[in-house]
């Protein structure tokens, strides 16, 4: 059985070559399902997963962790399979080719089973205590979505410049009350995820979720955190990522503008009315 996946989802997984490791050992129903997308993270994945699972277990949270090997070429897939064999609460989704940032996250969310869902990165730049605090706050305050906001960033200069460039452009298209659209972890209820229905398979996924949350009037809260340098591996964000962001922002803004035009369904244009009158009189 592929936990959390419907028959249609399983068929799509087979068609795309997606490999989902079924649970070899039954575990209790989780309260929180977390997705961690991984692309060439062999250097640090074991330490990151150990830190996260220990944090969740100490907090007494029944969890499901979905590790998505997003077409890695460095042995990440073999490492996450070994991790899953030791921990029955860890599931693995292996994609034969990199499906993009959003594609990897959505593949993991398709097999999530808990009433609260979320995702976080595999770089451990934000302490895993944040997951526990976000989860508790989401439930206690009955929020729809809860995420971190990186108010202090100790990353490399290259990453900081890229982030500044993006956040200078984003408000021009979508003025949202957040200074860190991409801040992760992000947690939300299953009902909210089904209302948002995100579809972006690239780096626009975070922005799409936040834009939709604003449009739907969802209850959103942020928690301030420090973003530390990566303990291992390398960032996958490049200048091309910023260009991709800009193209997506423009495309999304144009769709909204077209959708807001005052067209009325079922009303013929004057030209169409004239043609109908001519044909009726012939």
Contacts of 19 (CB under 8 A, 6+ apart): 13, 93, 94, 95, 96
* DSSP 8-state assignment for residue 27: -
Indicate whether this model's pTM tops 0.75: yes
Q: Prior bond to 185 cis, omega within 30?
A: yes
Phi, psi of 157 (to 5 degrees): -60, -40
CA–chain centroid gap for 42, Å, is 21
Stretch among 3-7, 110-114, 204-208, 276-280 having the lowest mean pLDDT: 3-7
Alpha helices in 59-189 (DSSP H): 76-86, 101-109, 129-140, 157-173
- Nearest residue to 249 via CA among 177, 193, 148, 167: 167
Binning pLDDT at 50, 70 and 90, where does residue 85 land?
very high
What are the counts of helices (DSSP H) followed by strands (DSSP E) for the chain?
A: 10, 8
- Both tokens of 279, joined, read 């044909």
> pLDDT value at position 239?
52
Residue that the structure tokens 């944090």 belong to: 55
For residues 24-53, give the mean pLDDT. Answer: 91
End-to-end CA distance of the chain: 65
CB atoms within 10 A of CB 136: 13
The domain made up of 7-260 is a member of CATH 3.90.550.10:
yes
User: Does the pLDDT value for residue 210 go beyond 80?
Assistant: yes
φ, ψ for residue 44 (rounded to 5)? -130, 0
What confidence tier does 177 reach under pLDDT thresholds 50, 70, 90? confident
What percent of the residues of the chain are helix, what percent strand, and what percent coil, each to the nearest 5? 45, 15, 40
């Amino acid at each position: 059985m592929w936990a959390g996946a419907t028959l249609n989802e399983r068929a799509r997984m087979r068609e795309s070559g997606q490999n989902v490791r079924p649970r070899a050992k039954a575990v209790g129903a989780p309260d929180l399902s977390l997705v961690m997308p991984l692309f060439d993270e062999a250097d640090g994945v074991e330490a990151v997963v150990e830190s996260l699972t220990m944090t969740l277990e100490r907090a007494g949270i029944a969890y499901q962790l979905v590790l998505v090997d997003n077409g890695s070429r460095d042995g990440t897939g073999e490492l996450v399979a070994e991790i899953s064999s030791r921990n029955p609460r860890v599931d693995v989704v292996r994609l034969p080719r990199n499906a993009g940032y959003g594609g990897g996250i959505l593949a993991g969310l398709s097999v999530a089973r808990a009433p609260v869902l979320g995702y976080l990165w595999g770089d451990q730049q934000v302490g895993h205590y944040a997951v526990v605090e976000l989860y508790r706050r989401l439930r206690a305050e009955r929020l729809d979505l809860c995420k971190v906001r990186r108010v202090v960033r100790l990353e490399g200069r290259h990453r900081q410049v890229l982030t500044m460039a993006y956040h200078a452009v984003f408000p021009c298209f979508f003025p949202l009350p957040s200074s860190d659209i991409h801040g992760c972890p992000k947690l939300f209820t299953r009902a909210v995820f089904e209302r948002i229905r995100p579809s972006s398979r690239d780096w626009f996924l975070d922005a799409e979720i936040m834009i939709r949350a604003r449009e739907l009037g969802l209850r959103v809260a942020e928690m301030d955190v420090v973003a530390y340098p990566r303990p291992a591996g390398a960032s996958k964000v490049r200048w091309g990522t910023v260009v991709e962001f800009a193209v997506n922002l423009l495309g999304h803004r144009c769709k909204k503008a077209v959708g807001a035009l005052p067209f009325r369904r079922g009303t013929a244009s004057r030209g169409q009315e004239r043609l109908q009158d001519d044909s009726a009189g012939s």
